[in-house]
Amino acid sequence: MATGQTLSRMLPMTTHVCLLTLFTLSTAVPFNPKSLRADHSNHLLQYHHQQQQEALADVEEQLFPSLSQIKSTRNNINSLQQPQQQEATEAPVSYAGYKLFKTDVQEQLFPVVDSLDVEAGVEVWSCRKKGRSNHYEMDLLTPPHAVREVRQVFIESNVTYQEVIDDLQRAINMEGTTDEIIIWNRPAHPMTWHNYHTLDEMYQYMDYLAAEFPQLVTVEDIGMSFEKRPLRVAKVSTGGPEVKPTIFIDGGIHAREWVSPATALFILHRLVEFGWQEPQLLNRFDWIILPMVNPDGYVYTQKHDRLWRKSRSNLDSSPLCSGVDLNRNFAFKWSTGGSSPQPCSSVYGGPEPFSEPESRALRDILLKNKKQLKVYISLHAYSEMWLLPYAYTDAEKPDNYEDLYNVSVMGVETIRNTSGHDYRMGQAAELLYRASGNSMDYAHSIGIPFSFSLELRDKGKFGFILPKEEIEPTGREFFQAMKTVSEEVYQKLQATSTG
Ligand SMILES: *[C@@H]1O[C@H](CO)[C@@H](O)[C@H](O)[C@H]1NC(C)=O
Ligand SMILES: *[C@@H]1O[C@H](CO)[C@@H](O)[C@H](O)[C@H]1NC(C)=O
Ligand SMILES: *[C@@H]1O[C@H](CO)[C@@H](O)[C@H](O)[C@H]1NC(C)=O
């Protein structure tokens, strides 16, 4: 059991989405990525960290004067600074005995969660604001040796909690078991909707569709990942003389959110193999599907660490920690909150906007199709939420927010009608947390009017380790929503072009 080892590796990359939001809101810590790039000596890093620590200390004083007995939040930042040892790639990380707790945490108890993180190696998996209250629903992954202590702290601090995963490794193992292959009825590709698949299998399926439906599907590699894996898109178009509005869907920008690429491919499957059932979808729109924005990260989650989130780049400026959060790397309000300048953080925004080949490739294909693109949807997991721009702030709304809102209402209603799942909807920064430099805000900023981001299933029962039985229902409910959304958008486009 590699528990101790796992712990020390997990600590520096802990997410703290809520905490990060809180602090970046209140501190204007100057950060100059150029200086870091020009000279990435420890000296500069130290200087920057020191500045940040001081600023954090001030904020902490203001926010939590009465909680000084709790270990200071600064410890957490210290742990972020300790460079992560580059791990050997052979041994997979074991999560045996790790438990997932769903908790209800009041904002003033954030430092308690933070201290659990620092001292017990607890990781914040997700943090969802509950309505307009100052309560947050937080999912906390707890290593085995800390379970007792964590329960104790919950009780002492009056945090209500529920144990939702008893043993994470068992859940991971169940996720990975493959069904028997029915040889006599195999199509010419390995894709199914009752298992998670490898990147190669996904790409094989895309190639299969292009070969089988050449009038309808074209497949193209739009770039290469850091580790030189292709970034493959499928374009679905019936052709014809007129230029159609286009809907763009991407998945897999965060490696561990496995249901996201699976759902993107399910949409592709429905559009291509069952498109004849829904002629409007293809008569009115062209579709571009990029199921895997972060192939390196995905492969890493399958081979080494199921819970990896970022890309796998190794930057000169941060030789000891790999990866950038690609969904914090876009050049719109980059690094203005809800992302981290620390390379070891799991929400590291990169040394500069578009520092990563994956985000650049996504940018380029969006720009190339900018005129036709009317809808952009980025698929994430989990929490069951339909998110509207902006994610970088909740203090400002896009001009067409009402249109976005009305379309989302219909999408969410369709999901509810289809499966009974109740997706919450609202502005991303308000409902979830601030996240600057994300792809949805960027897509909207370049003029794609209907830009959304979805958090797919579930609501924290399994979290990232969504059982494979839920892949198809997740795909179905989202496909139904896409039918409604495309209808609504079509009506709105008609209204503006004639009115
Ligand atoms: C927890 O609740 C009990 C009873 O309501 C109260 O006496 C105690 O002070 C609370 N503790 C904290 C840390 O809020
Ligand atoms: C949005 O929906 C509301 C309620 O149906 C309606 O009153 C409003 O005009 C709609 N707004 C837009 C921009 O379509
Ligand atoms: C959902 O179901 C209700 C009740 O059957 C219906 O009135 C409504 O139009 C449906 N909404 C959508 C978006 O299909």
Closest CA to 109 of 146, 77, 154, 143: 154
Probe target for ligand 1 pocket from 113, 152, 158, 161, with the most ligand atoms within 8 Å of CB: 158
Q: Is 159 found in the same domain as 229?
A: no
Does residue 270 contact residue 264 with C-beta atoms inside 8 Å?
no
Atom number in ligand 2 closest to CA 406: 1
454 compared with 50, residue with greater pLDDT: 454
Is there a single domain that holds both residue 155 and residue 240?
no
Rounded Cα gap, residues 268 and 184, in angstroms: 25
Over the stretch 197-214, which tens digit does the pLDDT of each residue have?
999 999 999 999 999 999
Average pLDDT value for residue range 436-453:
98
**Token pair in block for residue 15:** 């997410």
Residue 255 and residue 316 in one domain: yes
**Ligand 3 close to Cβ of residue 408 (< 6 A):** no
Which atom of ligand 2 is the closest one to the Cα of 402?
13
Rounded Cα distance between 300 and 313, Å, is 12
| Lowest-confidence segment of 23-27, 126-130, 151-155, 200-204 by average pLDDT | 23-27
Residue of 407, 413, 486 best suited for mutating to test ligand 3, as the one with most atoms within 8 Å of CB: 413
Provide the domain count of the chain: 2
Give 473 Cα–ligand 3 centroid separation in angstroms: 19
Q: Are residues 309 and 203 in the same domain?
A: yes
**Distance (Å, whole) CA 286 – CA 373:** 9
The larger pLDDT score, comparing residue 468 to residue 10, is at 468
Is 352 a member of any domain?
A: yes
* pLDDT (0 to 100) of residue 395: 94
The sheet carrying 135-142 orders its strands as: 123-129, 135-142, 99-106, 160-165
CA of 14 to the centre of ligand 1 (A): 28
Q: Is pLDDT of 221 > 80?
A: yes
pLDDT at 33 over 50: no
Strand, helix or coil for residue 360: helix
404, 406, 425: residue to mutate for ligand 2 pocket, most atoms within 8 A of CB: 406
- Residue 144 corresponds to which tokens in the numbers above? 């085995």
Q: What share of the chain is helix, strand, coil (3-state, %, to 5)?
A: 45, 15, 40
Percent of the chain with pLDDT over 70: 79
Q: Are residues 456 and 342 in the same domain?
A: yes
Residues having CB closer than 6 A to ligand 1 are 157-158
Res 128: pLDDT:
84
Same domain, 114 and 233: no
Please, which pLDDT band fits residue 430 given cuts at 50, 70 and 90?
confident
Q: What is the pLDDT of residue 186?
A: 56
**Three-state DSSP class for residue 281:** helix
Does the pLDDT of residue 312 top 70, yes or no? Answer: yes
Q: Is 285 helix (H, G, I), strand (E, B) or coil?
A: coil
Give the residue with greater pLDDT, 359 vs 37: 359
Question: Which pLDDT belongs to residue 2?
Answer: 34
Residue 245 gets the label, from left (phi > 0), alpha (psi -120 to 50) or beta, of: beta
Check whether residue 116 and residue 242 sit in a common domain.
Answer: no
Residue 403 Cα to ligand 2 midpoint, Å, equals 7
Confidence of residue 88 (pLDDT cuts 50, 70, 90): very low
Query: Three-state DSSP class for 447?
Result: coil
Contact between 323 and 311 (Cβ < 8 Å) = yes
Rounded distance between C-alpha atoms, residue 115 and residue 150, angstroms: 10
Pair (64, 126) in one structural domain: yes
**Residues 297 and 255: beta-carbon distance below 8 Å:** yes
Confirm whether 268 is domain-assigned.
yes
Which pLDDT does position 175 carry in this prediction? 80
Beta bridge mates, 466: none
- The terminus-to-terminus CA distance of the chain in angstroms comes to 66
Q: From the CA of 441, how far away is ligand 2's center (Å)?
A: 23
Of the residues 60, 356, 384, 455, which is catalytic?
455
Angle at 378 between CA 376 and CA 384, to 5 degrees: 125
Are 136 and 256 part of one and the same domain? no
Q: Which of 41-50, 99-108, 155-164, 379-388 has the highest mean pLDDT?
A: 379-388
Q: In what order do the strands lie in the sheet with 217-224?
A: 217-224, 230-236, 286-290, 246-250, 373-381, 450-456, 385-388, 424-427
pLDDT band at 83 (very low <50, low <70, confident <90, very high): very low
Query: Would residue 181 count as lying in a domain?
Result: no
- CATH number for the domain spanning 283: value is 3.40.630.10
67 located within any domain: yes
Q: Which atom of ligand 3 lies closest to the CA of 413?
A: 13
> What are the φ/ψ torsions at residue 357 (nearest 5 degrees)?
-65, -30
CATH number of domain containing 11: 3.30.70.340
Active site residue 455: yes
Query: Which residue range(s) make up the domain with 217?
Result: 191-498
C-alpha span between 11 and 290 (Å, rounded): 32
* Residue 177 is assigned to a structural domain of this protein: no
Beta-carbon contacts of residue 438 (< 8 Å; ≥ 6 apart): 327, 328, 330, 378, 391, 392, 428, 453
In a domain, 180, yes or no: no
Give residue 22's pLDDT: 39
Residue having the nearest C-alpha atom to atom 12 of ligand 3: 414
Q: Tell me if 176 is assigned to some domain.
A: no
Let me know if 402 is exposed, middle or buried by CB neighbors in 10 A (0-12, 13-18, 19+): exposed
Between 34-38, 169-173, 252-256, 276-280, the lowest mean confidence (pLDDT) is in 34-38
Which residue would you say has higher pLDDT here, 139 or 3? 139
CA separation, residue 378 to residues 173, 238, 263, 301 (Å): 28, 24, 11, 20
Q: Is there a domain that residue 184 lies in?
A: no
The ligand with the least distance to the CA atom of 407 is 2
pLDDT confidence tier of residue 187, bands split at 50, 70 and 90 = low
Residue 63's pLDDT band (cuts 50, 70, 90):
very low
What six digits make up the tokens of 461?
């029962």
- Quick one: 13 and 127 in the same domain? yes
How close is the Cα of 155 to the center of ligand 1, in Å?
A: 9
The pTM of this model reads 0.80
Nearest one of 368, 372, 376 to 249, comparing CA atoms: 376
Tell me the pLDDT of the chain averaged across its residues: 83
**Residues 277 and 344 grouped into a single domain:** yes
Mean pLDDT of 398-403: 98
Whether residue 409 has its Cβ less than 6 Å from ligand 3: no
Same domain, 144 and 220: no
Summarize the confidence of residues 487-492 as an average pLDDT: 97
Q: How far apart are CA 68 and CA 55, in angstroms?
A: 16
> Does the pLDDT at position 13 exceed 60?
no
Q: How far is the CA of 158 from the centre of ligand 1 (A)?
A: 6
Q: Span 107-118, mean pLDDT?
A: 85
Smallest Cα–Cα separation from 472: which of 274, 194, 251, 181? 194
Instruction: Look at 366 and 242; give whichever has higher pLDDT.
Output: 366
